[in-house]
Chain A
Amino acid sequence: MPRTDVGNPDYYHKVVDCQWACPAHTNVPEYIRLIAQGRFSDAYLVNRESNVFPGILGRTCDRPCEPACRRTRVDGKPVAICRLKRVAADHKDDIRDRLPTAPKTRNGKKIALVGAGPSSLTVANDLMPLGYACTIFEKGPRPGGLMRVNIPAFRLPEEVLDEEIGYIAGMGVEMRYDTPVTSLRALVESKEYDAVFVGSGAPKGKELELPGRRDTDQIFIGIEWLESIHFGHIDTVGQRVLIIGVGNTAMDCCRSAKRLGATDVKVIARKTRKYFKASPWELEDAEEEHVQILENHSPVRFVVENGTLTGMEFDTFTAREEGGRLIQEPAGRTIVPCDTVILAIGQENAFPWIERDMGLEFDKWNMPVVDKVTHMSTRPGVFFGGDAAFGPANIIWAVAHGHQAAISLHHYCQGIPVTERPPDAMTLTSTKMGLHEWAYSNNYSPAARQKMTHVSMPHRFSKMTIEVEQGFTADQTKEEVERCLNCDVETHFTDPLCIECDACIDICPVDCLTIARPGDEADLRQRLTAPAENLDQALFVSGPLKQTGRVMVKDENVCLHCGLCAERCPTYAWDMRKFVLQQPYAGVTFIPLEAVGR
């Protein structure tokens, strides 16, 4: 193996598992440390830089960071990153004077944004401070997109939405509510705008055309039903409710049904739990509310008697796993009685308002052809982001798209090729404060993951708007922040200083380090103090060491970042250095370290 190139920001970035897994690459360990110091406003602003909506995401994020968290591999449970984010949002002071503002003199460029969801709002957030005039066209009366109409208020209070959207709109974004765009061609060809961004989401719920579907008015499409509840058009539901589908929308539907007065709520799944699309924590929250989940049921027909829905018929299966595959065999039919059915089997994109002959190519799935990096469609000047770009994902992806699209929009308007992407940069600073003191809490805390407390069961059903999660207490926060392993404080190795005394190897509590004869990666992985079998985790390899020509190898997999290797190193060959990823945003680029000779 050649020497690992730690000058490439990707190497150390990848060590920060949470940050690497986050589509917006939020600097998680940094904001957790700020929370630990009680600096909630600072933590909020670190968060906001990359994910724009810390209060919203601290309650609703799909948290790709948590399954990636190194702590999972160390003691089984990830740090409660998402709910710590909420701590920062809940306890911050007034931060309005620290937010970006739009300059008095605009740059003369105008951007039209379709849909007031998270991706458009992110674009506006990035472009307003650069002097762009942004106009958002929203078909509904209020901003937020699915964050407002699809996520029930018991998970995301309206005040939080209003506050964080307000920070962006408050920069002077022109918000045109109740103004659906009915023709993209008209918008583009009006020449009123220099560029157009489409962030209109994936607003169409999937249908289930089975016998009986059209014979009753008690069958609803999940996201439309949630929207109707939000607008107050629906405030009752049958006693017995079936939810078809087992994704996160299904979880919102079943819990909403409980709050509308349903007493018997069942979620119907085609496969077994292992294959459910819903996040494990959303499943847990639904089950806590006594929602029953039926596995191995496949819909056959709706049972409608004299115009009244009385049940639904299913094929049932037995299930077993064979060689990692699910084998289902028919086990007869059954009718599950019900009064209402909610279909939550997925969402689709719909672009009836985009003319197919306007030079904007669509693929065979009837999706616009959009560049994965630049987010530009085949019609120059028209960009896509969020669910509208590549199909349904989640809020944090929409935010990530928004940042990238903003860079492209900025380039497009300034005459810079959109394919020219500013590089990631980084800073690396020693955290050494004294002989054995570090600028971070390096001791390992064996505390277990803190459990979120919920509002008591009967009380939470009394109103749609009672937020179930109460947020971490001060004591819980104190424990949880210490569980973070500070993966961004990197073990940085300087080859020529090493005298091969083995001190780092002997002290490492998790057997990460080895001084070994050089070899290729597959061979090295088997010759280490502990075999490096997690191939997703990189090996750091030094150059040949001066006394024996062997190499220092570090398996990044379960490193605790406790700094003991650096404390026991007599020559400072190991140092604990804080890595800060400098992500480019529209109009903000960083000079890579090498360029300035550091």
Chain B
Amino acid sequence: MTYIAKPKVHHPSLQRNAIGLTRRDYEGAITTLCAGCGHDSITAAIIQAFWELSVPPHTVAKLSGIGCSSKTPAYFLREAHGFNAVHGRMPAIATGAGAANAGLMMIGVSGDGDSLSIGLGQLSHAIRRNVDILYLLENNGVYGLTKGQFSASADPGSTSKKGEVNTMEAIDGVLLALTLGATFVARSFSGDKAQLVPLIQAGLAHKGFAFIDIISPCVTFNDHEGSTKSYAYTREHQVEVVQADFIAPREAITSEQDAGTVKSVMLHDGSWVTLHKVADSYDPTDRDRAYAYIRERQKVNEVLTGLLYIASDSKDMAEQHELPDQPLAGLPFEQLCPGSAELEKLQARFR
């Protein structure tokens, strides 16, 4: 908690983006999280990503549930729409919002408690429906707001701040998402903005459910020796298998690419993601091989990061259900509600 607001004054050379906004215009209220929280770095990465993409903030909806992570939408894009849902129920709200207004750019921010414990069912179905949302799971392996109990993502064998060993299996967000058919699956680290910012941008451009599991250390309860979600542990065990560069529509792809290690995937809006594979045997467009590889490397304590899987043929919920691009609220009433005669006709078919 900080007592003074962040001064509005900025660096004299602060740049403006294509719509005339500075990075500072994408900020929100000052954070109330603990000093050094990984979530704040993720917030900064979100601000950077939206600013670089020149997204008009009022075209964005930011959604969250309950938890430290779910407070963070207050700290970015103060001009955007927001919805703070009941614990674990953000995916349902997002599904409804996406159905009612397919033109909204949605970003959901959740944590390991909100997504993998109380909201696990909700998350699963949003993935299954391929709701068009960028879903960030700020993963610190601990219930911070309730003072540091192991969460569902805590690795077996890791210890609590007081030294107690976790004996239960962990739910891995990335493996879960791959199993459930997610069309965009990535893992990153709050301490690596160079990797995280392009991933957020690619996730926003992706049509469908873009899932990024972000290791986000809890400085207060889970940054000690014995933790597998600390700054030091993550830095030591992180292996970036697929380095993703995001290239906005109309931007030329200039660099000479070595066809053997680079793969480019075109996204729905005409932007590109180029994937630089660090490991030869890895293919980020093959779900089964991706799953197997991640599983295998987990056994030797590697934390694989990067854009781990992307489906180039993603069909989001709106497309599957032939929903209009226009917000439902903007449709003419006759179209939205065909009237009792039509209802009669429909019901007659079931008699």
Q: Which of A233-241, A265-273, A506-514 makes up part of the contact surface?
A: A506-514
* Residue interface mask A363-394, B partner, CB < 8 A = 1: 00000000000000000000000000000000
User: Which one of A443, A444, A503, A505 has the highest number of Cβ atoms from chain B below 10 Å of its Cβ?
Assistant: A503
Q: Which residue of the partner chain A has the closest CB to B230?
A: A499
8 Å CB contact of B219 from A75, A435, A501, A558? A501
Q: Which residue of the partner chain A has the closest CB to B7?
A: A444
Q: Which residue of the partner chain A has the closest CB to B219?
A: A570
Bound-state Cα–Cα, A444 to B30, Å: 15
When A506-B43, A568-B2 are in contact, do A501 and B191 touch as well, CB less than 8 Å? yes
Q: B35 — which chain A residues lie within 8 A by C-beta?
A: 503, 567-570
Report how many residues on chain B are interfacial, defined by Cβ distance under 8 Å.
Answer: 34
When A530-B13, A548-B235, A562-B7 are in contact, do A500 and B37 touch as well, CB less than 8 Å? no
Q: B191 — which chain A residues lie within 8 A by C-beta?
A: 500-502
8 Å CB contact of B4 from A533, A558, A564, A571? A564
Determine if A73 is an interface residue (Cβ-Cβ < 8 Å): yes
Q: List 19 A-B contacts (CB under 8 A).
A: A435-B1, A436-B1, A437-B3, A501-B38, A501-B191, A502-B41, A503-B35, A503-B37, A507-B31, A511-B11, A530-B14, A560-B9, A564-B4, A564-B6, A567-B35, A568-B36, A568-B40, A570-B35, A570-B219
Determine if B217 is an interface residue (Cβ-Cβ < 8 Å): yes
Find residues 1-21 in chain B having any chain A CB closer than 8 Å to their own CB. Answer: 1-4, 6-14
Determine if A442 is an interface residue (Cβ-Cβ < 8 Å): yes
Interface set of A (CB-CB < 8 Å, partner B): 73-75, 435-437, 442-444, 446, 499-503, 505-507, 509-512, 530-531, 533, 547-548, 558, 560, 562, 564, 567-571
Give min CB distance, A552 to chain B, whole Å: 14
When A510-B11, A531-B13, A547-B231 are in contact, do A571 and B36 touch as well, CB less than 8 Å? yes
Give min CB distance, B40 to chain A, whole Å: 6
Bound-state Cα–Cα, A571 to B35, Å: 9
Q: B40 — which chain A residues lie within 8 A by C-beta?
A: 502-503, 506-507, 568
Determine if B44 is an interface residue (Cβ-Cβ < 8 Å): yes
Determine if B232 is an interface residue (Cβ-Cβ < 8 Å): yes
Q: A502 — which chain B residues lie within 8 A by C-beta?
A: 40-41, 44, 190-191, 193
Q: A75 — which chain B residues lie within 8 A by C-beta?
A: 9
Bound-state Cα–Cα, A500 to B192, Å: 10
8 Å CB contact of A570 from B4, B11, B14, B36? B36
Q: A444 — which chain B residues lie within 8 A by C-beta?
A: 4, 7, 9
- CB–CB B217/A510 < 8 A: no
Q: Which residue of the partner chain B has the closest CB to A73?
A: B12
Determine if B319 is an interface residue (Cβ-Cβ < 8 Å): no
Give min CB distance, B253 to chain A, whole Å: 24
- CB–CB B10/A509 < 8 A: yes
Q: B190 — which chain A residues lie within 8 A by C-beta?
A: 501-502
- CB–CB A507/B6 < 8 A: yes
Q: Which residue of the partner chain B has the closest CB to A507?
A: B6
Bound-state Cα–Cα, A568 to B10, Å: 18
Bound-state Cα–Cα, A547 to B231, Å: 8
When A511-B14, A547-B232, A570-B34 are in contact, do A503 and B4 touch as well, CB less than 8 Å? no
Bound-state Cα–Cα, A435 to B191, Å: 24
Give min CB distance, B37 to chain A, whole Å: 7
9 pairs of A and B residues whose beta carbons are closest in the complex: A570-B36, A444-B7, A506-B44, A501-B36, A511-B11, A443-B4, A570-B219, A530-B11, A570-B35
Bound-state Cα–Cα, A501 to B39, Å: 10
Q: B31 — which chain A residues lie within 8 A by C-beta?
A: 507, 568
Bound-state Cα–Cα, A509 to B1, Å: 17
Give min CB distance, A499 to chain B, whole Å: 5
When A436-B2, A570-B36 are in contact, do A506 and B41 touch as well, CB less than 8 Å? yes
Find residues 165-202 in chain B having any chain A CB closer than 8 Å to their own CB. Answer: 190-191, 193
User: Which one of B3, B6, B36, B37 has the highest number of Cβ atoms from chain A below 10 Å of its Cβ?
Assistant: B36
Q: Which residue of the partner chain A has the closest CB to B15?
A: A530
Q: A567 — which chain B residues lie within 8 A by C-beta?
A: 2, 35
Determine if B223 is an interface residue (Cβ-Cβ < 8 Å): yes
- CB–CB B7/A509 < 8 A: yes
User: Which one of B7, B13, B191 has the highest number of Cβ atoms from chain A below 10 Å of its Cβ?
Assistant: B7
Q: A507 — which chain B residues lie within 8 A by C-beta?
A: 2, 6, 31, 40
Bound-state Cα–Cα, A509 to B7, Å: 6
Q: A510 — which chain B residues lie within 8 A by C-beta?
A: 9-11
Give min CB distance, A281 to chain B, whole Å: 24
- CB–CB A547/B7 < 8 A: no
Give min CB distance, B127 to chain A, whole Å: 30
Q: B7 — which chain A residues lie within 8 A by C-beta?
A: 443-444, 446, 509, 560, 562
Bound-state Cα–Cα, A435 to B34, Å: 11
**Additional 14 contacts, C-beta under 8 A, given A506-B43, A506-B44, A564-B2:** A442-B4, A443-B7, A446-B7, A499-B231, A502-B44, A510-B11, A511-B14, A512-B11, A530-B14, A547-B235, A567-B2, A568-B35, A569-B36, A571-B36
Bound-state Cα–Cα, A367 to B14, Å: 50
- CB–CB A501/B9 < 8 A: no
Q: Which residue of the partner chain B has the closest CB to A442?
A: B4
Q: Which residue of the partner chain B has the closest CB to A436?
A: B3
Bound-state Cα–Cα, A309 to B217, Å: 85
- CB–CB B232/A499 < 8 A: yes
Q: Which residue of the partner chain B has the closest CB to A534?
A: B12
Q: Which residue of the partner chain A has the closest CB to B30?
A: A507
Give min CB distance, B97 to chain A, whole Å: 28
Q: A501 — which chain B residues lie within 8 A by C-beta?
A: 36-38, 41, 190-191, 217, 219, 231
